[in-house]
Amino acid sequence: GETGWYWNRESSAGCSSFISMLHQSSSVPLASGLTVEVNLTTVRSPFRAGTRYTRRGGDAEGWVANEATTRLQARIVGPGGGDPPGDELSFFTTRGSIPLVWSSPMTVGKYNPKVRLSPDVRGNGDACYRHFRRLERRWGGVAVVNLVDKGGSGQGRLGEAFRITTAACKRWGANVGWGWWDFHEITREMGYDEGVERI
């Protein structure tokens, strides 16, 4: 794998057999006598790690705050768990901060800190483009789901800047799809239960 994603390489050097023992998978027998092994793995990027409100946005290289990738893998194994057939399907999701240069310093007593977006439009475009291209090289095409609120001055402005920058990245050749899913707006329109059902 990518060594850049090996968060604790030094401290875990002697632990690989123990880690293998802890690896959790679930097997489901099929009618044909084969077994499906299902694994769920999440890795967190060591680049721009931090806590919410103290580390936000992206940097000039396209690394975003608190990025994590989750892989859902299903593999068909032979009878009794042996090999072959070995057919495998995987689905990846990557989540992290919006890949623009921005921050939202915490203010004591305020639930929604102010969003400070860098005024450098070209710098934001470059950072976002590098982020998308890195994801493309790793996974192929990218489908973005923007989860920030459309309303509210800070998040709404940030989301709109992200939408505009993503459209520019597409014009520059990034293979990226776009969607904006505002949970609060959806639950306000159709009620909480139905909104949660749509998730």
Q: What is the pLDDT of residue 173?
A: 93
Question: Are 55 and 49 spatial neighbours (Cβ–Cβ below 8 Å)?
Answer: yes
Q: What is the pLDDT of residue 187?
A: 81
Q: What is the pLDDT of residue 106?
A: 77
Residue 4, SS3 per DSSP: helix
Residue written as token pair 């505009």:
164
Between 35 and 154, whose confidence is greater? 154
Tokens of 120: 């450098």
Q: What is the pLDDT of residue 18?
A: 46
Mean pLDDT of 74-88: 67
Question: Are 81 and 27 spatial neighbours (Cβ–Cβ below 8 Å)?
Answer: yes
Question: Are 26 and 20 spatial neighbours (Cβ–Cβ below 8 Å)?
Answer: no
Q: What is the pLDDT of residue 1?
A: 47
Q: What is the pLDDT of residue 134?
A: 93
Alpha helices in the chain (DSSP H): 16-22, 121-139, 153-171, 183-190, 192-198
Q: Which of 80-89, 128-137, 178-187 has the lowest mean pLDDT?
A: 80-89
Cis peptide bond upstream of 113, omega within 30: no
Q: Can you give the residue ranges of every domain in the chain?
A: 3-198
Mean pLDDT of 14-41: 61
- Dihedral sign, Cα of residue 106, residue 109, residue 110, residue 114: negative
Q: What is the pLDDT of residue 141?
A: 87
Between 88 and 137, whose confidence is greater? 137
- Using CB atoms within 10 A of its CB, is residue 121 exposed (0-12), middle (13-18) or buried (19+)? middle
Which of 15, 69, 9, 10 is CA-nearest to residue 43?
69
Q: What is the pLDDT of residues 117-165, one digit of tens each?
A: 999 999 999 999 999 999 999 888 899 999 888 887 788 999 999 999 9
Mean pLDDT of 31-39: 73
Which of 62, 151, 148, 158 is CA-nearest to residue 117?
158
Which of 148, 130, 145, 134 is CA-nearest to residue 177?
145
Residue 100, pLDDT > 70, answer yes
3-state SS of the chain: helix, strand, coil percent to 5?
Answer: 35, 25, 40
Tokens of 132: 């998308």
Query: How far is Cα 56 from Cα 192, in angstroms, rounded to an integer?
Result: 28
**φ, ψ dihedrals at 64, nearest 5°:** -110, 155
Query: How far is Cα 112 from Cα 107, in angstroms, rounded to an integer?
Result: 8
